[in-house]
Amino acid sequence: MLVLVAPGQGAQTPGFLTPWLGLPGAADRVAAWSQAIGLDLAHYGTNADADEIRDTAVAQPLLVAAGLLAASALGSRAAFGAVAGHSVGEITAAAYAGVISETEALSFVRTRGLAMADAAAVTATGMAAVLGGDRDVVVAHLEKLGLTPANINGAGQVVAAGTMEQLDALAQDKPEGSMKVVALKVAGAFHTHHMAPAVAELETAAKALDPADPELVYVSNKDGHVVTSGADVVARLVGQVANPVRWDLCMERFAELGVTGIVELSPGGTLTGLAKRALKGVPGVALKTPDDLEKAAALIAGHAA
């Protein structure tokens, strides 16, 4: 079974949208989305520097737009048995599974990005990945420092979130057995209590959505559960911003479902990297540019044979 996954914030790099705009109809679609949400996606995805696209209000719509373009370029959804997204990637996954429309996805993620940026502005916060070490030991150490294990990603990676002072303390006092601590390209302590103010705004935004039940197996990063109700998917998208991401449980669910291949939407690399370590032997393709579509097509064809 093939699984389609969508990456979260921090995967963006300057100019990453540029090659995708060369696909037939892509520039027109992005222009329409930009007009609908009041954000020049083409500009930020092609000409903006790293600091500009680190802005939560910009990065999140960019990631969803890129993911949707890549998903469309893959062709029929029939090739995939399940779909999941990491953090903001869940909105891309929800659109791909038919829970919400592409326009609804861009509108919702625009609200999400703005609300989370406002929440992040209250206190100087951030996130850092702890690489290596026993998960329980790492989590206990983070909690001792007042940090939240905001992303438990599996494959020896736990992402800590909290104030900059708490993150500085972590850099000076790594958990026992861990190899290093790497600051992430995000502008806030996402998936923690620091994001609670954004939940209320998303609850209001969710009322404008008209969700349908997923047309694919939809795996939630809240707990790795398969969600069959569109209304439940949306409720999880709302609460997700202030709750930890359990990507480790998603990968465990993929294994239970019998995953035999993974395709990661643009800007791919992070999730296929985690899967390479946690789901050994399962082939994966990361869509970084349209040049990678040929490799994805080969993987899909191999499953169809």
Q: How far is CA 157 from the centre of its chain?
A: 15
What's the gap between Cα 67 and its chain centre? 10
Rounded distance, CA 185 to CA 162, Å?
14
Nearest to 179 by CA among 152, 148, 158: 158
Nearest-5° Cα angle at 67, 305 to 108: 135
Q: Which of 86, 141, 191, 194 is catalytic?
A: 191
By CB atoms closer than 10 A (0-12, 13-18, 19+), residue 304 is exposed
Q: Hunting for tokens 């990005």 — which residue is that?
A: 113
Nearest-CA neighbor of 26 among 85, 86, 77, 67? 67
Q: What is the DSSP letter of 194?
A: G
Beta-carbon-side half-sphere exposure of residue 65 (alpha carbons within 13 Å) = 34
Please check whether residue 88 is in contact with residue 9, taking contact to mean a CB–CB distance below 8 angstroms: yes
- Please give the order of strands across the beta sheet that includes 284-286: 226-227, 217-219, 82-85, 2-6, 261-264, 284-286
β-sheet bridge partners, residue 284:
262
Q: Known catalytic residue: 107?
A: no
Exactly one of 34, 87, 107, 178 is catalytic; name it: 87
Q: What are phi and psi of 289, to 5 degrees?
A: -140, 170
Distance of CA 156 to the CA centre of its chain: 18
Q: Are β-strands 284-286 and 2-6 bridged in parallel, bridged antiparallel, or unpaired?
A: unpaired
Token pair recorded at residue 267:
């800007």
Residue 191 annotated to the active site: yes
Indicate which residues carry an active-site annotation: 87, 191
